[in-house]
Structure formats: structure tokens, C-alpha cells
Amino acid sequence: MSLGKAIKDRILPPEMAEQLASIPRAPGEFKRDPWGMDKERSWLSFAVCKRLYDDYFRVQANGLENVPTKGRLLVIANHSGQLPMDGLLIGMALSTNPHGARAPRAMIERFFPTVPFVGNALNHMGAVIGDPVNCSRMLEHEACIVVFPEGIRGSGKPYADRYQLQRFGTGFMHLALKHNTPILPVGVVGCEETMPSAGNIKPLAKLLGIPYFPLAFPLPLPARVTLNFGKPLTFEGSVDSEDEVVAHVETVKSHINALIEDGLNDRTSVY
């Protein structure tokens, strides 16, 4: 046995390798799919994230039976925690779902791919720049896409605003209506406490060219995370005005709020 294989077998034990192999492969002629997802090169990232999921954040995922096992799908969740840990954990829950694994694609902020190593690792695992053209094309390929409509308004908010949903963008609803795609609401509880921020150091963020620089402990804290997956929502028919789109978005937002409240009410320990 080569040294490389021995190291891989040590880091990625057989049960994890089996889970990784069970994730459906997205369409593409080569090892990578058209958007850069590469199962063979993501094994290390998968192993690290699985250990974070199981052992560090001790994720409790509820409602996974509600996730459709095939077909186009928009997974819409609240965003928090300064770093995209919520996206990684939702992706891990979907890709190891005992009711049927899916290969989730997460829409990420444009600056993440510019971060050395992190950008490549996220891309190999299925993350894609949050662009409506990318999203539209992936839905045409029946993809499962994770979207955070709050964007940096949610991820970069201070701890004082925890669990207060910020304004949702409406792009995801336009795509859902255009591509006749069900929406799966998700309430995330716990990521707010992984990196509590006292505020945004704007001069430093501007200097580094990033949306925000949190005044916080530099590493994620081991908060317990709960993911509550709701039942799919469908919005059919054409809309005559942007007000109707906003009304649909508010419906999704209310479902996510309810799922967050369930998680907070059931939580017995933050850490």
C-alpha cells in the first residue's frame, strides 16, 4: 500500500468513503461537473467537514425526510456566523441524508473563491458563486441548490441581532417561479454562537477588500447546531407585480422563522 493511500484511508475511514461514494454525481463529461464539483478531489474536505459536523458542532438535523430525493430544488435558509459554516453543515446533512443523498450546490459570496485554498476546496465540494445565471443553469440540470437570501446582511450581522432575519433578496423566488422549482425552508440554530461578533471593523474590511471584518474570536466556537428542514413549498402561476414576488418571499421567511423558533425552544444547551 502506498503512503498516500494509507494516509487517505486513515483520514477517510471506510464508512465515510462509502458515504462520499453514495453522493450522486452531477452531470459532466469529465471528473468535474460543469461548475467545478469534483468528488475525487473533495475527499479531504469531505472528511474534515464530516468530523466538524459530527464531533465539533454535534449537528442535529431534523426533517431530512422532507427533502425530495431527486429533481430541481431550492434550499432556502437563514444565514449567520460570519463564516459559511451553515452552508457546509446544510450541505453535509443533504449529502449524507439517510433518506436519499443529494449533491448540494451552495451559492457563496464572490470573495470566497479569492481566498487561497478555501476557494478551491469550496468549489470542489460544490460551492458556486451566487450568480442567477449559474443558478438558472443548474436548475435546468435538476440540481439541489442551497441559497441564503440574506447574503452578507445575515452572515455579517453582530451578535446583538442574532436570530433576527435580515431583508431577503427576491432573486431566488424569481428563479423558483421561472423554473417551477419547489422551495425547502431550513431554520439554522447554533451558527449565531459559533463566532459572536461585536461589530464590523470597516476600515480593515475595506483594506482587505472583503464585505466585513468581524470583531470576534478568530476561530469558530463549538456551538451545538440544529438544522430544521421544513416541508417543500410550491409557488405556481405567473405574477403580475414585484409586490406579489415579495409576498411569496415573506411566506418563505415566515416558515424559516417558525423553524428557527422550534430550534430555539428545543435547545437545551448552546455549547
Q: What are the pLDDT tens digits along the chain (271 aa)?
A: 677 777 777 787 788 888 888 777 655 555 667 666 776 677 888 888 999 999 999 999 999 999 999 999 999 999 999 988 999 999 999 999 999 999 888 887 776 666 666 667 777 777 787 788 889 999 998 999 999 999 999 999 999 999 999 999 999 999 999 999 999 999 999 999 999 999 999 999 999 888 899 999 989 999 999 999 999 999 987 888 999 999 999 999 999 999 999 999 999 999 9
Of 98, 91, 92, 215, which is closest to residue 160 (Cα–Cα)?
215
Do residues 44 and 122 lie in contact, with contact meaning Cβ atoms separated by under 8 Å? no
Per the CB < 8 A criterion, the answer to whether 109 and 99 are in contact is no
* Alpha helix positions (H), the chain: 3-11, 14-22, 43-51, 85-95, 118-124, 132-140, 152-155, 171-178, 202-208, 242-266
Instruction: State the pLDDT at residue 42.
Output: 75
Burial grade of 31 (CB within 10 A; 0-12, 13-18, 19 or more): exposed
DSSP state, 66? G
Residue 33's CB is within 10 A of a number of other CB atoms, namely 20
Which sign does the torsion angle of CA 60, 62, 65, 66 carry?
Answer: negative
Alpha-carbon radius of gyration of the chain: 18
In order of 116, 126, 141, 164, the CA distances from 119 in angstroms are 6, 11, 23, 29
For residue 25, the model assigns a pLDDT of: 65
CA angle 168, 268, 81 (to 5 degrees): 35
Q: Given this model, what pLDDT does residue 2 score?
A: 74
The answer to whether the predicted template modeling score (pTM) of the entire model surpasses 0.95 is: no
Phi and psi dihedrals of 8, rounded to 5?
Answer: -65, -45
Contact indicator for 89, 9 with CB cutoff of 8 Å: no
* Phi and psi, residue 159, nearest 5°: -60, -30
Instruction: State residue 161's pLDDT score.
Output: 97
C-alpha cell recorded at residue 212: 466585513
From CA 57, how far away is CA 20, in angstroms rounded?
A: 20
What is the DSSP secondary-structure string of 85-136? HHHHHHHHHHHT-TT----EEEEE-TTGGGSTTHHHHHHHTT-EE--HHHHH
Tell me, rounded to whole angstroms, the distance of Cα 97 from its chain centroid. 14
